[in-house]
Structure 1
Amino acid sequence: MNEILASDLAIGYDENSPLLKNLNFRLTDGVYVLLGANGSGKSTLLKTIAGLISPLHGEVYVNGFKPHFLRRKDVARLIGYVWQNPFHGFVEPTVEREILFISKQTGVEVNWKLVHKLVPLELFERSPFTLSGGEAKRVSLASVIGLDQPIWLLDEPFNELDFTGVKVFTGIVNYARTKGKIVVITTHYPGLADLVKPDYYLLINRQSGLLVMDKWSNLSDEDLVKNEVIPRVLRPEFTG
Structure 2
Amino acid sequence: MIRVENLHFAYNEQEVLRGIDLTLGEEVLALVGPNGSGKTTLAKHLNGLLKPEKGRVLVDGLDTREHTVAELSRKVGYVFQNPEHMFFEETVFNEVAFGPKNLGLDKREVEERVRWALKAVNLEGFEERAPYSLSGGEKQRLAIACVLAMRPKYLILDEPTTGLDLKAERSVVEVIKFLRKKGHGILLITHDMDLVLELAERVVLLNDGRNVFDGSVEEFFRLNVEEYGLERPELLVLAEKLGAGFVRSAEELVGRVGGDLSVLR
TM-score by length of 1: 0.84
* Distance in 1 separating the partners of 2:181 and 2:91: 32
Q: Which residue of 1 aligns with 2:263?
A: none
Q: Using the TM superposition, give the Cα deviation of residue 13 of structure 1 relative to its aligned residue in structure 2, in angstroms.
A: 2.4
Q: Which moved more, 1:177-186 or 1:104-113?
A: 104-113
Change in Cα spacing, 1:90 to 1:17, as seen in structure 2 (3 Å) is: same
Q: Using the TM superposition, give the Cα deviation of residue 111 of structure 1 relative to its aligned residue in structure 2, in angstroms.
A: 6.0
Letter in 2 for 1:80: G
Q: Which residue of 1 aligns with 2:188?
A: 185
1:210-229 maps to which residues of 2 (within 5 A)?
210-220=211-221, 222-229=223-230
- For residues 88-129 of structure 1, the C-alpha deviation after alignment (integer angstroms, 9 at most, x for no partner) is 112322221111111111237526344234353454323323
Unaligned stretches of 5+ residues in structure 2:
238-265
* Distance in 2 separating the partners of 1:174 and 1:120: 16
**Structure having the higher Rg:** 2
In angstroms, what is the RMSD of aligned CA positions? 2.4
Q: Which residue of 2 aligns with 1:238?
A: none
Letter in 2 for 1:118: V
TM-score by length of 2: 0.77
Unaligned stretches of 5+ residues in structure 1:
236-240
Letter in 2 for 1:39: G
Structure 1 consecutive aligned stretches of length 4 or more whose deviation exceeds 6 Å: none
Say if 1:10 and 1:18, in contact at 8 Å, map to a contact too: yes
- For residues 189-211 of structure 1, the C-alpha deviation after alignment (integer angstroms, 9 at most, x for no partner) is 01123222x210010112x6334
Of the three residues 46, 50, 57, the one matched with 2:47 is 50
* Distance in 1 separating the partners of 2:26 and 2:123: 30
Report how many residues are paired. Answer: 230
Change in Cα spacing, 1:116 to 1:165, as seen in structure 2 (3 Å) is: farther
Say if 2:196 and 2:217, in contact at 8 Å, map to a contact too: no
* Distance in 2 separating the partners of 1:178 and 1:39: 32
Q: Which residue of 2 aligns with 1:71?
A: 68
Change in Cα spacing, 1:68 to 1:136, as seen in structure 2 (3 Å) is: farther
Say if 1:137 and 1:160, in contact at 8 Å, map to a contact too: no
Q: Which moved more, 1:150-159 or 1:123-132?
A: 123-132
Q: State the secondary structure of the residue aligned to 1:125.
A: coil
Of the three residues 181, 196, 205, the one matched with 1:203 is 205
Say if 2:118 and 2:124, in contact at 8 Å, map to a contact too: no
